[in-house]
Amino acid sequence: MAVDYKELGLVNTREMFKRAMEGKYAVPAYNFNNMEQLQSIMTACGEGGSPVILQVSRGARNYANQTLLRYMAEGAVAMTRELGSDIPIALHLDHGDTFELCVSCIESGFSSVMIDASHLDYEDNIALTKKVVEYAHPRDVTVEGELGVLAGIEDDVQAEVSHYTKPEEVQDFVGRTGVDSLAISIGTSHGAFKFKVDSVEDIPPLRFDILEECEERLPGFPIVLHGASSVVPEYVKMINDYGGEMTGAFGIPEDQLRKAAASAVCKINIDSDGRLVVTGEVRKYLKENPKEFDPRKYLGQARKALAELLKHKNEFVLGSAGRY
């Protein structure tokens, strides 16, 4: 039986994005795969008064079980309300790749889905995205589409100009598909190795010119930024200091994300930073406490550190803290 997300206390992203656009901030979209990550997200956003989009990827569904994840999100809403917080919470499918997956998520209580058909031909992208919108909108579920392909880990971001979103396509794409938000490619990429550089100073700036052109062609329309982890240097160092090997890991500097958040970018996707915090803290804890074998100890430490980092992002990078 289909589940109505409104009965779970969730909201879609429409009002969130409208407010983010007016208030010149971005709503955080944090991925979760397990209980500790979800608790960190809810602590940071609940205590800091930030709207939040809980993101579930295909990989997360395979790892944690789709039904369990849905109940976890429902539990997160209930826990947050019990703690006295009234923040808007959306449950979103990240990088959905088929119509069937989007339908399955909507039926199980997701309030928002992404159909990522950006790797297809332009017309095929439109056809698949439109099909998802036609299914989602009668159920009041919002849909994110994507135009342009984010560079992969091994691609040279500076050279792969053809992967950037073409601003001349955005109006036609949004008009013909009916999407509620659009992910664009302006130089971010997924993962912890976003740039082939030797130091933070060499990181190339995002293509704000493309973003501005998209904004001009789609006034007031919510833009989404994927691949927006900063790959926090402190945590890369912690991982390396405690036995890991992440030399050459660089992300998007915070000042660039701040600038994006003040523009039409209403949703900023962050996953890798959460992974780095957990890995760094667990490595450190186990090295410093070799006799410890209670997962609550090392995961508890990681959970606390992750909540602190996300609070910092909401307050000082995305500007979403206290904005609901």
Q: In whole angstroms, what is the distance from residue 251 CA to residue 260 CA? A: 15
Should residue 94 be labelled a site residue for ligand 13P when binding is judged by CB under 6 A?
yes
Of 4, 86, 94, 172, which one is the catalytic site residue? 94
Q: How far is CA 241 from CA 199, 283, 306, in A?
A: 18, 9, 19
Should residue 228 be labelled a site residue for ligand 13P when binding is judged by CB under 6 A?
yes
Should residue 270 be labelled a site residue for ligand 13P when binding is judged by CB under 6 A?
yes
- Within 226-245, the residues that bind Zn ion by CB under 5 A are 226
Q: Please indicate whether residue 273 is annotated as part of the active site.
A: no
Q: How many CB atoms lie within 10 A of CB 153?
A: 11
- Report yes or no: 257 and 318 within 8 Å, Cβ to Cβ: yes
- Cβ nearer to ligand G3H, comparing 152 with 322: 152
CA–chain centroid gap for 287, Å, is 31
Binding range to ligand 13P, per CB under 6 A, among 105-113, 225-233, 234-242, 286-294: 225-233
Q: Which residues bind ligand G3H (CB under 6 A)?
A: 31, 57, 59-60, 94-95, 190, 271
Q: Least distance (Å) from Zn ion to the CB of residue 227? A: 6
Q: In whole angstroms, what is the distance from residue 291 CA to residue 283 CA? A: 13
Q: Least distance (Å) from ligand 13P to the CB of residue 299? A: 20
Should residue 207 be labelled a site residue for ligand 13P when binding is judged by CB under 6 A?
no
Q: Least distance (Å) from ligand G3H to the CB of residue 44? A: 18
Q: Which does 300 bind (CB under 5 to 8 A by kind): Zn ion, ligand G3H, ligand 13P, none?
A: none
Should residue 92 be labelled a site residue for Zn ion when binding is judged by CB under 5 A?
no
Which residues, 6 or more positions from 120, have their beta carbon under 8 angstroms from its beta carbon?
Answer: 128
- Within 262-281, the residues that bind Zn ion by CB under 5 A are 269
- Cβ nearer to ligand 13P, comparing 118 with 269: 269
- Report yes or no: 239 and 196 within 8 Å, Cβ to Cβ: no
**Sign, Cα dihedral of 258, 264, 267, 272:** negative
What tokens appear for 35 in the block? 């209980």
What tokens appear for 77 in the block? 């809403």
CA–chain centroid gap for 268, Å, is 5
Q: Which residues bind ligand 13P (CB under 6 A)?
A: 31, 94-95, 190-191, 226-229, 269-273
Active site residues: 94
